[in-house]
Structure 1
Amino acid sequence: MNRESEIGDGKMEKAPPILPINHRFLEPEKAVKSITDMAIWEKSEAYMEYTGFIATLNEAIKGKPLSVDCKISNNVSKFVKLLEKIDKTIDEFPPIEQPQRFGNSAFRDWLVKVKQNSTEFLQEALHPQLHLAIPEIKVYLEESFGNATRIDYGTGHEMSFIMFLCCLYKIGALDVEDHVASVFFIFNKYLQIARRLQQTYRMEPAGSHGVWSLDDYQFVPFIWGSSQLIDQPRIYPPVKFLEDDVIDKYADEYMFLSCIKYIKEVKKGPFAEHSNQLWSISAVGSWSKINQGLIKMYKKEVLAKFPVVQHIMFGSLLPIRRFTIQQ
């Protein structure tokens, strides 16, 4: 039986905590307009919330395969269903015949449809007490799937979805008991949709650095995926992740191997040539070191890059204001 079909069966819906009566939601806006604004971003509440969120979920899934028996709340179920609706919408917009190889313009029509439906989808997924948050959080969801003008997808879009997840926690739609399921069910479903979009509409990588980047499209599933592999003797030493039989056997259990399998399916030629960074990582002696190294690399190669950060949206839940330690 597909575990997703069991989600939420017979679960009682839990009312979210009451938000502060004076909380005012804001439609998120871009705030990093120049290179000099990068220092504001790196000291902001949004930066601390976002990096802390990634670290918290990274710890929660350490050493756990995707099939682990974890709590799947009714709220998690609702967000998986929201993503399933978005996934099904792709069927309504098949690629059109066009001369250029990349960037099928049917993607634009698909994204228009998603934006038309996003408020309704979120109303169905969220407790009525939280509907006031929709104008703020829906922007992060809508920006998660790629750029309609360039028909591309990259780490900035991935970041937008993780910010969407983070906002769900901040408004009380998800809580600490949902940490593992948030990665293994919600984020993993999102990852499947992102791959389907890349393939269906031949999306360009956004801001790819070619073979010297970790991956053309994703980054965080390598972080969380390497955490899953810590203290897992079946895929040790890490160089085993390059072996086809290991990939085939464990790709459905570990996100890192799922990412490697996808790369091998869409790229031709020697792995060391088209994925040099991952090839280099395979020589590191432990998954714990790989995990910590990837977190550092993410902060340096994604979160510290103006071409990515200029597109980040800031609102009341992920504000650009300076982070201060509460007394």
Structure 2
Amino acid sequence: MNADSSIGDSIKKDENAPPVLPASHRFVEPVKAVKSITDMAIWEKSEAYMEFTGFIATLNEAIKGKPLSVDCKISENVTKIMNMLDKIDKMIDEFPPVEQPQRFGNTSFRDWLIKVKANSTTLLQEALHLNLHLAIPEIKIYLEESFGNATRIDYGTGHEMSFVMFLCCLYKIGFLFPEDNVATVFLIFNKYLNIARRLQKTYRMEPAGSHGVWSLDDYQFIPFIWGSSQLVDQPKIYPPAKFLEDEIIDKFSNEYMFLSCIKYIKEVKTGPFAEHSNQLWSISAVGSWTKINQGLIKMYKKEVLAKFPVIQHVLFGSLLPIRRFPISN
């Protein structure tokens, strides 16, 4: 079984079926395991790495050429996760920004995150079937780490990665299924993306480890991967350089994640696009969305997954373990 197909292929189709993991499976609270630069080699050969990159590739393929408004299956379990995210979103209303001298990093974010963490177990108990509740102590950590760092009041690709790992775990425990793939991106992940943007704006969050104009974006990366897959063979946004045109952005940002990302950047940054978003400006010259999509996956592996400052914070448990990925004969 290759990495791309290792998640969910053997899952039972009955949504009320018991989890696919063996009855003897022991869930554990995930912990950091990449403690030094030399540990990066262990990470890149780990089961977690193969499962995570395979998960991104599987969903990337599922949404290829599809707008957000596509008619897709919305299962009861997808709806439950959406309801959970709605509750997390509404909690922001309870913690308005406080008056403070510094411009960035409003301390009300810490109070909001404390409430999310205090309620995460209950929220997941409400969403997951009773027979999956043993998994909550493990998967809730990925959810809690998805929204930013309370000490630094910052947000970056590591937090985004934690949420995608949370989604990956929902498949591994048999809560989400292959037929949920499109809804997982277009409904669940897109909802998460909107919450992340709201947090960034509301609490003036700093970018975590930003590379400035040389990075793809101060905060996100994965919506550019999945968003570019959506645009494959879409004649209305071709050639790709059209994604820089305001008319195209306004018309299609609600249909394509890539364009919603560009719209968001233009809302929060001033000055010439070529200066504040140099990498994206360069990408606009690539001749096809397929090449852009393939290039972004390679860039993500190189600029995010191969960077110790990001991976040192990644958490490993029984579902996404640091052990070496088994090589079939």
Would the aligned equivalents of 1:16 and 1:173 in 2 still touch at CA under 8 Å?
no
Q: Which residue of 2 aligns with 1:93?
A: 95
Once the two structures are superposed, residues 32-81 of structure 1 have per-residue CA deviations (whole angstroms, 9 ceiling, x without a partner) of 00000000000000000000000000000000000000000000000011
Q: Which residue of 1 aligns with 2:74?
A: 72
Once the two structures are superposed, residues 115-170 of structure 1 have per-residue CA deviations (whole angstroms, 9 ceiling, x without a partner) of 00000000011010000000000000000000000000000000000000000000
Q: Which residue of 2 aligns with 1:136?
A: 138
Partner AA of 1:101 in structure 2: R
Partner AA of 2:134 in structure 1: L
> Any residues of structure 2 matched to 1:174-193 within 5 Å, and which?
174-193=176-195
- Cα deviation for residue 324 of structure 1 reads 1.1
Would the aligned equivalents of 1:15 and 1:127 in 2 still touch at CA under 8 Å?
no
Measured in 2, the distance between the counterparts of 1:245 and 1:233 equals: 15
- Cα deviation for residue 245 of structure 1 reads 0.4
Distance 1:193 1:119, change over 3 A: same
Measured in 2, the distance between the counterparts of 1:97 and 1:22 equals: 52
Q: Which residue of 2 aligns with 1:53?
A: 55
Would the aligned equivalents of 1:90 and 1:110 in 2 still touch at CA under 8 Å?
yes
Would the aligned equivalents of 1:82 and 1:122 in 2 still touch at CA under 8 Å?
yes
Q: Which residue of 2 aligns with 1:235?
A: 237
Distance 1:48 1:13, change over 3 A: closer
**Equivalent residue in structure 1 for 2:287, among 280, 285, 288:** 285
Would the aligned equivalents of 2:20 and 2:172 in 1 still touch at CA under 8 Å?
no
> Any residues of structure 2 matched to 1:238-253 within 5 Å, and which?
238-253=240-255
Would the aligned equivalents of 2:19 and 2:131 in 1 still touch at CA under 8 Å?
no
Measured in 1, the distance between the counterparts of 2:18 and 2:106 equals: 41
1:284 alignment partner, SS class: coil
Q: Which residue of 2 aligns with 1:173?
A: 175
- Cα deviation for residue 89 of structure 1 reads 0.2
1:160 alignment partner, SS class: helix
- Cα deviation for residue 325 of structure 1 reads 2.4
Measured in 1, the distance between the counterparts of 2:307 and 2:18 equals: 36
CA RMSD, aligned part only?
Answer: 0.9
- Cα deviation for residue 21 of structure 1 reads 1.2
Q: Which residue of 2 aligns with 1:264?
A: 266
Measured in 2, the distance between the counterparts of 1:15 and 1:74 equals: 13
- Cα deviation for residue 16 of structure 1 reads 4.1
Measured in 2, the distance between the counterparts of 1:311 and 1:15 equals: 34
Partner AA of 2:199 in structure 1: L
Measured in 2, the distance between the counterparts of 1:201 and 1:16 equals: 41
Residue identity (%): 84
Q: Which residue of 1 aligns with 2:115?
A: 113
5+ residue gaps in structure 1? 1-11
Partner AA of 1:35 in structure 2: I
Q: Which residue of 1 aligns with 2:9?
A: none
Q: Which residue of 1 aligns with 2:204?
A: 202
Q: Which residue of 2 aligns with 1:159?
A: 161
Measured in 2, the distance between the counterparts of 1:17 and 1:195 equals: 33
- Cα deviation for residue 13 of structure 1 reads 5.6
